[in-house]
Structure 1
């Protein structure tokens, strides 16, 4: 299914990448970095442009996911879960949402999960956008930079080290975030 969806969007080139990145923020189950990698593999000299297109589409789609969560997700959640569970989840997202959104913005977990949940749990749209810009920027530009620097060999690097790199960056971001939060509390 991923391959079929990726092929459909690949037909439209850079506009397909933009559309997939935009739709990934709230509905499509295929992450745009598969298409970004495919396009960068074909034309490594345009890898940074592809990173910019994917980044822009993803960031522009984030508020759509947020609004869907706010308008549709909250009433659905209230029908499915007891009120105390919803209140507890809202409280936890308010407390840990910064880390969730930041780390989730560049991990393989679908980005739409974080945009929609942000709306459902009344997380700040401003914070969502700030952390999405940071996290999505790291993700798309890291891939773009690899292809820009290493050309087609970057695919081998991604295949070998992507998971470890993403986990390492995620751990580093989590540690920095915890230190920042601790200092903020003590100030």
Structure 2
């Protein structure tokens, strides 16, 4: 079984490297596939870094292409969740399904944004599928994906241009901490905003 998994991972990595040879178009396809059906998270993040470091002037276009590709891929999963209902969530544990539902029903857009921002191994796809299953408004879903993925890829692109060959190491060592810190700030801001709304409602 481990041998089969290793071969699958190797094949996916090879596919990602092949697509990467097509530059910006390949990056668009990689991020679309990664967000929709084919798990290529490491290749997707590396592609933004490699291409941006090689052609710094094209970095904004790579970031936009990656963000658009990821958003389209996420919309595919959103649609599957919308049409398939809770049956599409059976691959996840009951605990994780319940947690995703609770967070989405309470914080919809913020939950999707944070999940889009954080790097692997954060369970991103369960929130994308659940957004469709639990009928999160599509405009808020799209906005959250664009903001989360856009910031993530922009940060990677900036670091690639700034540090070139050292960018991968810097991101590998620091991005999880940066992502968690940003998530903490967003969650803290959300809690303060909800507290303010409750006080305003009580005062009114």
TM range (shorter): 0.7 to 0.9
Structure 2 length normalisation: TM-score? 0.76
Unaligned runs of 5+ in 1: none
- Which residue of structure 2 lines up, in the alignment, with residue 42 of structure 1? 54
Q: 1:120 to 1:43 in 2, by over 3 A?
A: same
- Map residues 46-65 of structure 1 onto 2, 5 A cutoff: 46-65=58-77
Structure with greater contact order relative to length (CA < 8 Å, sep ≥ 6): 1
- Which residue of structure 2 lines up, in the alignment, with residue 131 of structure 1? 144
More displaced, 45-54 or 166-175? 45-54
More displaced, 120-129 or 1-10? 1-10
Unaligned runs of 5+ in 2: 1-8
Q: 1:147 to 1:34 in 2, by over 3 A?
A: closer
User: 8 Å contact 1:24–1:111 — kept in the other structure?
Assistant: no
Structure 1 length normalisation: TM-score? 0.82
**3-state DSSP class of the match of 2:118?**
coil
- Which residue of structure 1 lines up, in the alignment, with residue 34 of structure 2? 24
Instruction: State the 4+ residue runs in structure 1 displaced beyond 6 angstroms.
Output: 85-89
**3-state DSSP class of the match of 1:182?**
helix
Q: Deviations over 1:74-131 (max 9, x none)?
A: 34458x999xx98896455311333321110111235433221100122221211121
- Establish whether residue 157 from structure 1 lines up as the match of residue 167 from structure 2: no
Q: CA RMSD in A?
A: 2.8
